[in-house]
């Protein structure tokens, strides 16, 4: 069985982080409405680039793009920044709900998405899925608390640096779990 070729690293970085970098720069140069339009355009460009290079669009960036389109569109149409501020909450809550629903249905959606990067036992995937679902729900709650109680400047910095930093820290904390439940590969077996 052939393994699906993964996207080049530069492409994954462009699709995942390019739009948020464009959003941050546009906000600092102009305002939240210009930044919203900019992230919508940057997301469309990132997905188009992904399709041109790979002839496919990854599911999670596609879902995120749809939500960016809806909430960004509402923000611009109604000239109300509430919608773009709610977008991270909605995305995180959807991901948490999908992972939880998958567990209840005995499906390991995280394994389907990340199985080419991390090679774990099914028990490891179950534990990791529970942790990711909880992390997504906590991130959604934190975004709600921040955008409802802080200034737009604070929220933009939290969205760009805070959520990204928390995600990075969360993944680092999972390294012992990844090691504990790692599947042995042929190269890992010791010959004495």
- List, for residues 27-66, the tens digit of each pLDDT value: 999 999 999 999 999 999 999 998 998 888 878 888 889 9
Residues 26 and 85 reside in one and the same domain: no
- Does the pLDDT value for residue 2 go beyond 70? no
- Domain range holding 67? 1-78
Mean pLDDT across the stretch 82-93? 95
Q: How many residues does the chain have?
A: 192
Residues 69 and 162 reside in one and the same domain: no
Mean pLDDT across the stretch 11-40? 93
- Among 52, 78, 104, where does a domain finish? 78
pLDDT for the residue 117? 82
CA angle at residue 89 from 83 to 94, to 5 degrees?
A: 115
Residues 47 and 116 reside in one and the same domain: no
Please indicate, yes or no, if residue 192 is contained in any of the structural domains.
Answer: no
Where do we find the tokens 């611009």?
A: 76
- Among 31, 63, 78, where does a domain finish? 78
Mean pLDDT across the stretch 132-140? 98
* 107 phi/psi in degrees, rounded to 5: -120, 140
pLDDT for the residue 59? 80
- Does the pLDDT value for residue 81 go beyond 50? yes
- Does the pLDDT value for residue 14 go beyond 60? yes
- The total domain count for the chain is 2
Tell me the per-residue pLDDT of 155-175, one tens digit each, with 9 for 90 and over: 999 999 999 999 999 999 999
Where do we find the tokens 């439940």?
A: 181
Please indicate, yes or no, if residue 190 is contained in any of the structural domains.
Answer: no
Where is pLDDT greater, at 132 or 189? 132
pLDDT for the residue 192? 44
Alpha helix stretches (DSSP H) within the chain: 9-29, 32-54, 59-78, 82-104, 109-114, 122-149, 152-157, 163-173, 175-180
Which SS3 state, helix, strand or coil, does residue 120 take? strand
Q: Which of 146, 150, 184, 148 is nearest to 163 (CA)?
A: 146
Non-local CB neighbours of 109 within 8 Å, separated by 6+ positions: 98, 99, 102, 129
Please indicate, yes or no, if residue 74 is contained in any of the structural domains.
Answer: yes
- Does the pLDDT value for residue 3 go beyond 70? no
- Among 78, 108, 131, where does a domain finish? 78
Tell me the per-residue pLDDT of 107-133, one tens digit each, with 9 for 90 and over: 999 998 887 788 999 999 999 999 999
């Amino acid at each position: 069985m052939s393994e699906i070729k993964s996207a080049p690293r530069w492409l994954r970085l462009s699709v995942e982080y390019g739009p948020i970098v464009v959003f941050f720069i546009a906000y600092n140069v102009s305002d939240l409405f210009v930044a919203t339009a900019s992230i919508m355009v940057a997301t469309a460009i990132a997905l188009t680039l992904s399709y041109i290079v790979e002839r496919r669009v990854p599911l999670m960036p596609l879902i995120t793009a749809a939500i960016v389109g809806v909430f960004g569109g509402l923000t611009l149409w109604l000239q109300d920044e509430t919608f773009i501020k709610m977008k991270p909450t909605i995305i995180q809550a959807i991901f948490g709900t999908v992972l939880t629903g998958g567990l209840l249905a005995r499906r390991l959606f995280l394994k389907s998405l990340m199985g080419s990067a991390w090679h774990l036992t099914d028990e490891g995937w179950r534990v990791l899925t529970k942790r990711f679902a909880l992390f997504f729900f906590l991130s959604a709650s934190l975004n709600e608390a921040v955008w409802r109680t802080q200034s737009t400047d604070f929220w933009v910095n939290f969205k760009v640096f805070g959520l990204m930093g928390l995600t990075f820290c969360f993944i680092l904390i999972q390294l012992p779990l990844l090691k504990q439940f790692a599947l042995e590969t042929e190269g890992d077996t010791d010959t004495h």
